[in-house]
Each structure stands twice: as C-alpha cells, then as structure tokens.
Structure 1
Amino acid sequence: MRLRHLYLNIYVTVLLVLMVFALVAMLIVRHHTAAQHGQIERAVIHERMSAWVELLEHSLPPAEAPSEDQAQALLTWAQRLRMGIALDDAAGHRLATSALYAQRQNVMSNDDVGPSSRFVLSDGRVLWVLRGGGLRPLNGGAGEHGGRARHLPPPEERASVVLGGLALLFLAIAAGSYPVVRRLTRRLEALQKGVEAFGAGHLGQRVSVDGRDEIAALAQSFNLAASRIEELVRANQSLLANASHEFRSPLARLKMALAMLPTTPEHRRPALQAEIDRDIDELNSLVEEVLLASRLEARTALSVERVDLLGLAAEECARVDAELVVGATQAAAPELDGDERLLRRALRNLLENARRYGGDEVSLHLETSATALRLAICDRGPGVPEAERERIFESFYRLPGHAEGAGGVGLGLSLVRQIAQRHKGSVCCEAREGGGSCFVLTLPLHPVTGSEPVRHNG
C-alpha cells in the first residue's frame, strides 16, 4: 500500500510494526501462561494424589493379608472417595479394580504418561489412581499449590488481560507518535513548497531552517543553492542588459561609417577604414569579455597548472612598455598554481587600463611573502576618487567624465576582481604617493582547487 503523503506512510508503518509486535507478544505470553498453568495444575493434582495415596497406604490391609481382604478394602475406599483406583501386588498381578477405573480401562494406560498415575507403596504393591477422578484436597486444600491454583485465573482470562494492556499501549503510542511524525513531514512539505515556488520563478524564495537534523541541513543547502542561482541569474540579466547597451555604440558607428564610405573622398577612406577596424576590434573584445564574464559567473572549473608569475609579468609589461620592478628580497622566481590564461588576462587588463588612463609612467611592482604574491600596477594618471574605488570594479561602470572614445566598456576591472576571487585572492585600488593610482592584485601561494581543464578565449 502506497499512500500519497509521506507522513501517512511513516505513521502507518509505525502502527503496523506496533501491531505485529503486539500480536507476537500476545502469542508468546499466551503460550507461556498456558504452559505455566498446566505445570501448576499437574503439580496440584500430583500433590492431592500423593496425600490420598498416603491415606490409602495406611488404611489398606498389609501385603500379607488375603487378596480378598485387600480387594474389599480398596473397593470400599474407592466407593467412599468416589475415585478410580486399582491395586497390584509386588509381582504385578492385579488384586482389585474400582468400578470407575474399570469403566475407563479401555482408554487407560498403566504408565505414568497415561490418564492414570502409578504410586509404589512401601511394601512393593502398586496403586493406580485415575487422574482427575473427582479428587478433593485434604483439609480444605491449604497447601501451597492448592492455594495458588484456586486463585490463579485461567489462561484465557490472563491472555485477555495481556491483550487489553497491549491494546492500550498500542493506542497510546499511536496517539503520541502522530504529532511527532506530522511535525517531521510538515517541514518536508514546507521545503517542497519552497522548491516549487523557486522553480516557478520566485528567485527570492527561501525556506525556514528549523532544528539541527538532516531536514534542517537540506533546507540550509537549498537556501544556499537558491541564493547562488539568484545571484547568477541577476548577474547574467545585468550582464546581458549592459552588454546590449554597449553593443549599440560600435554598431551605430559602423553603420554610419559604412553609409559614408561610398561618398567619402579617396584620401579620407583609409582613415574611415581604420575607424571601422577599431570598431570591429572593440566589438570582438567586448564579445570575448562578455563570454569570459559569463563563464566566471557560472563558476566554471579552472585549468590549474604551475604558473611562472615573473615571466608572465615580464611579457605583459613588455607588451605595453611598462616597467617591471621586482622586490629586492626576492630569492627565486615566484610561482603558484592557477589558470595561466586568466592570470594573464587580469595583468593585461590592469596594465592596459594604466596605460590608457595613467599616462606614460606605468610600472608593475612584484613582491612575494611567505603566503602570498603581491602585484601592484601603478600609474601617474588623475587617480580614482576614494568614493569610487570600490564601484570601478562593478560591471560596465565608468568613472564620470570617461567617454566611450577613451576605449573600454567597463568590464575589464570587473573581470580582474572575478579572476582574483577564483584564485582565492583579491584586488583593490589605492592612491599612489605623488599622484596617480595603484591597483594591487594579491594572490595566495597555496594551490587553488580545480577540476577538469577549461579553455578560455582571450
């Protein structure tokens, strides 16, 4: 039987287990009670028989007496006591049999396991007593077994008492377990509703985390996953909206340049062609940066390898004609585990920004400590106001007064921060003494966790 609700499945399972337990316990108790009652009853009967046998042994004539006298005395006592008895001599010959014993002779067996009991008298004679043949206790049955048998209820009555107790226990556990099971599954239902609401598009949907068990851990994991998905979706929406806006400018310039090309004088066409090439390069660079930003937002696995930061920095400095300054205490070439393409892109973006906005004096200062590597890209430009030093790392953000003609679309520094964070590092903007700015990229020297190699364009 499969029920629709989980709490009903759990609850019915608990009840079925309790029911099986109650039935098995009842059968065991009933069997034990019946066996115990039978043992006590046999002990009582044997005790009563022993008492009557002792009485008869002292009342019967001795073994040397004539057989007729012994038989007559036995029959007299059998009639007086209304018992089924028989007497054999020491040689096993039957001396006398009472009428009640004779009536049941066809079903009697002269051994201890039959319906009659065998008692050997002190003189060697054997007395057979029919079991249950109207025996009454001597002296009112004040013996131990007689009193216990008189007050011990029958097995059926005791089994009914046990069954009633088990039924009450079953009802108590059933009533007490329902709220517990229902509370447990109610939290699962709340988690289900939260997942359904999140799947319907309510990205801000979260579920409450109650308790410290597995369900609470599951709810917490859902909230963390929902927050990350919401962050990714919002970032992709913002990236798409800003990228769409940035695409319009070079496309508009290209459209205008192409419209002017047929009517442009021959001596101006090379300049117009160069402007078209620049716009195409800008579009290509924008597409690459948007793709890279989306991959970083999606937390694509890094292609981890040993990277020579000194050689990488020297190549990028030579590319933009920047000065490379290595710390005086540098003992060996600094190396770390990371994605070489992403680290190269981060240094290139910082150096190109410094060359674009910082004038001719651009330098890269490389220093290594016991735990981290510090790269400071410094320039002598106008600097960045303190209030803007954090916002410049946002996607598509430009400082006031920086026109599109200066180049760039506001994604470069955002990519640098994402690359630094993917390598467990950081980047910040500081004021340079004497004027200008320094963009400080700090990377830890411990290995960065990665999985499958991933190719990145750029």
Structure 2
Amino acid sequence: MNSLFLRIYLTVVAVLLAFAFLAGVIAQRQLDRERELFDTAQDERVQAMAQLLHSALPPAEASAATQAEALRHWGQKLRVPLALEDAQGRLIAAMPRYERMEERGGTPQAVPLDDGRRLLVMRLRGAARAEAERPLVPGWPRSAAGVHALLVLFGLLFVGVAVGAYPVVRGLTRRLETLKHGVERFGAGDLDHRVALQGRDEVATVAASFNRTADRVAQLLKAHQNLLANASHELRSPLARLKMALALRPDRERDPKLEQEVQRNLGELDALLEELLMSARVEAQQGQALRREPVDLLGLVAEEAARVDVPLDELEGELPDDWMGDERLVRRAIRNLLENARRYGGDSQSVALRRSPGTIDVVVLDRGPGVPEALRERIFEPFFRLPGHAEVAGGVGLGLALVRQIAEAHGGAVRCEPREGGGSRFVLSLPT
C-alpha cells in the first residue's frame, strides 16, 4: 500500500466504522437494560390489575355471560386485552381484541386467581415481540436472519462512511500530491516552477517553505552560471592579448620549443574557456525550449569526421530530412566525441550513423585501452580523468561532460560501452 491517499482514507474509514460499531454495542446494551426495566414494570402492573379484577369480577359460580360482560367492561376500562379460564382451563370469555392478537401470535401472561380461575392478559408488546421473533427471510432461522441483517446494516454503514470521508481525505492528499509533483519538476530542472498555495494548514506551510527554498536555489544557480559565464568571457581578453604578444615578438627572441609549448597551453586554455561558456549556455537553457532548426546530421557528422581524419562508416537506415535541434550544440557534442577518440582511441577510430526505434545514434568507435565498467558513468563528470591519462595528453576534462549536457538538453542520452575486440564504443542517442 504505497498510496498516501489510500492509507489515510482506509484509516479514517476504519476508525469511523469502529466508532459506529462500539456506539451500536453500547446503545444495544442500554436498550436491553431499558427493556428489562419495562418488563419488570409491566409484570408489576399486571399483578396489580389481577388483584383489582379478582375483587371486581363476579364469583366463579356466576353465569358465563355475567363473567364475560364484567370481563369486557373492565378490559375496556383498563384498555388491556383480557380473557378468563375456569379451574379446568376451559375458556369462559375473551375480548375480541385478545382473540385477534392471539391469532397474530401474541403470547398472553396467565395470572392465577384465588378461586382457581386464571386471568389471561395479552400485553400490548406481545405482537411486536412475536414479529421480532419471526425470521426476516422466510425459511431462515432467527439467528441467521439476525446475522444477515447485521451484515447488511454494516455494509450500508461502510458505504456511507466511505462516501462521506472520500472528499475530506482526497482534498488533503491532492494537495500533498501537487506538492510532490512540484518538487519532482523542480528537481528535474524546471527551476521556475512553484507550488500553488492553498489553505492555511501545515500542508500550505510546507508548500510556502518549498517555494522559498526553490527561489533561493534558483538565485544561487543563476549567480553561479553568471559568474562562470562572465569569468570565462573576461578571461578571453587577456588570453587574446597573450597570443598577440607572442605573435609580435621578434624572430631573434623566439625559442621554437618554448613557443610551441606556450602555444599548446594557450590552445588548451582557449578550449577550456570555450567549453565553459558552452556549458554555462546549456545550463542556462535548462527547463526552457531549445532553439531548434533543421539539421543535416549526415553532413554534420561527415564534416566533423573529415576535420579529425576519422573514417565515416556506411549509414544504417534512413535519416529523417527534417530532424530538429540546435546545430551548434550538436556539432560540439560530435566534435568532442571524435576528439576524445582521436586522443585516447589508439590507432583505429571510426564513426557511424544508425537509425534506431525512436532515436538516431551517432556511434564513435576506437581501439584504445577501454574504460573500466565502474568508471563508464564517471567519465561524463566534469574534470574527471581516467587513471593514467595525464594532462600532457591534451583535453581539459570537460568534453564528455558537455556531450552529456547537450544530449540531455535535446531529450537524449550518451553512454560508453565496451567494444568487441577491445576499445570503447560511445553512443550519442538523439530522439526523433
């Protein structure tokens, strides 16, 4: 049971049903107690009426008609159905009302008189009791009918409680779900998303705290991106001046070996600044739509492969003519993969374009030392270098990290796989 709504809902329903059940048990006990008191009072009343009627009725020697007339008179006066039997149990007289209630299953209470006769009193609750003792369903024993009625009542009570509790619990958990979705959207990179505030309870307080935290995090990330972009941009001016100063030096002051080393370091610094600027640009576009335009992927891959002298394998499948993406970013991602293969891929590299279901894959193959399985994800982290790959091999440690950023910005992915026969296989997947 992973749903918070379901847990809260079932808990509320169970508590309400338990309360209703206990209230019913207590009420039933109270009714039984009141019924016992009523029965006792009825018995005392019947005994008092019997004493009154014993002195008021004609003696046993009187004619049956006389006794019947007296019985009807006192029965109507006391408003109680009465009958009278002689000492042998033969019926002397009975009121019409008594006879009707007896036919309906009423049970009379017999009160013996001192002269041997018996006064029969039909209690007013006798018919109701007889109806209660009848089964609710014909042919069922009374106990089974009672259980059936209890189950039906409990089912109706459950439906009523469930329907009544649903809007209350759903209203609470819906706001929690909204807050959860808001946190997930923010964590996925939509830094502008905020949660709507509803109510003034604890859930609204948590939502307000999340919005304040999101504002602060967004401000910090924005400041970080601005600092990175501004610093990278400002460093390009002194870098350009250094290049100019080196170019304007007199020939007699030049040391070819030293100048080659300086030029190499300046080139790496220039590449680092360019990739930092590109990374800052991609980060700034997170949660926003990319500038998309038609891109000729085959032509783009062919150009970059020719630039680093890497052969392009035959195309596998047909490419769409109108693939949309940011050409500059995609070109940079392919260039970084090819330069990485040329730098670390041994003496054999190649690139291929393949059409897969839902994606276009740019596959870069090499015969280098390969990447250990435990490090195939870490190589896409900024500034991470494999053990043994010294800085003299070139590169600044941002190339593959930038490839992943660009792939994810397009809704795609990049992965590193082992190549059969040795080496690595880098796959850049772009969605169609």
The bucket for the TM-score relative to the shorter chain is 0.3 to 0.5
Instruction: Tell me the TM-score normalized by structure 2.
Output: 0.45
